[in-house]
Amino acid sequence: MTTTLEQPNTTHRSVASPEAAVRVALELLERDLVTEPEVRPEPATIPALAVERVTKRFHVGGKRRPVTAIHDVSLRLERGGTIGILGANGSGKSTLIRLVSGLLTLDEGRVEVFGHDIVRDEMAVKRLINRVSVDAAFFKKLSPMENLLFAARLYGIDAGQARREAVVICGRLGIAEKRLSRPVEQLSRGMQQKVAIARALLTSPALLLLDEPTTGLDPRSKLEVQAFIEDVRTNHDASIVLTTHDLDEAERLCDRIAVLNDGRVVVQDTPAALKRLVAERHGQAPTMHAVFMTYTGRSLDDDVEDDDHDDE
């Protein structure tokens, strides 16, 4: 659902901060909200995500030639599936997520979300996706609940329904209801990341983009988030793209895995098939660590040299 607002006359208001502006916006949304028909995914025969020969370059520093962050990448995610994107720091994982979400423009290639071209059908795509990044942005002076309600209203979700669902989702992520009224800035980094995940799930996205969602979480919180991602995948008909530094997490959560190296997909298949491949062809132990080392020659914690665009 989308939100349509007539331009309000706010000349008599004085908005002193972004947080105050959000509260004003919530009041206006509550008063003037008009909803449009919800954009739904196309039939199941159409993939949730189709990335076709995508390339992205950046002009950085004083270099004459642009840096190629993503080169000729193609991926396909079936509806209800989960694909994991593995790569060392700087390999292009986050750039790829930003391209799919529309935060970056394509230089070459095309991306479709449930049959909608991300350039031609931009608004339709935005209603179908939501993204959680490793550095989630909030109105820090507002509470988690206020942040969640603001996001929900932008998607046309009734405030009462949003509040009830927010409490349930946060509870399943290990966030006590009493924490929902505290300013976000008073929460730990891990707790803020959980709120970011709750915010994304609250809008019931058909395609969920998770960019290292468990980075910075303590072991217990990581397990809680992983279990909830499994539940979303199994019971809520969401298709998921996951970037992660955790090989065990990728193997546990993903139907397919693509390994990025220097902006290129060097191998992709199911976790079982990839492990079998390195064992049969390369004589390596059938583990995801062996898969990653075989096809990249580096550790997940290695930085890619000359990566001036600072992509994760």
Q: 188-206 pLDDT, tens per residue?
A: 887 888 888 888 888 888 9
**Residue 33 domain-assigned?**
no
67 is a domain residue:
no
Number of domains in the chain: 1
| Inside any domain, residue 270 | yes
| Structural domain for 257, as ranges | 81-105+116-312
**What percent of the chain lies above the pLDDT cut of 70?**
81
What's the CATH code of the domain at 184? 3.40.50.300
277 part of a folded domain: yes
182 in any annotated domain: yes
Residue 74: inside a domain: no
In a domain, 137, yes or no: yes
The number of CA neighbours under 13 Å toward the Cβ of 56 is 28
**Pairing label, strands 239-243, 207-211:** parallel
CA distance 196 to 137: 8
Q: What angle do CA 51, 128, 118 make, to 5 degrees?
A: 40
Task: Give the span between the Cα atoms of 76 and 219, in whole angstroms.
Answer: 31
At 253 the three-state DSSP class reads helix
Task: Let me know if residue 271 belongs to a domain.
Answer: yes
Would you say the pTM of this structure is higher than 0.85? no
pLDDT tens string 141-189: 899 999 999 988 888 888 899 999 999 989 888 888 888 999 988 888 8
**Amino acid letter for position 225:** V
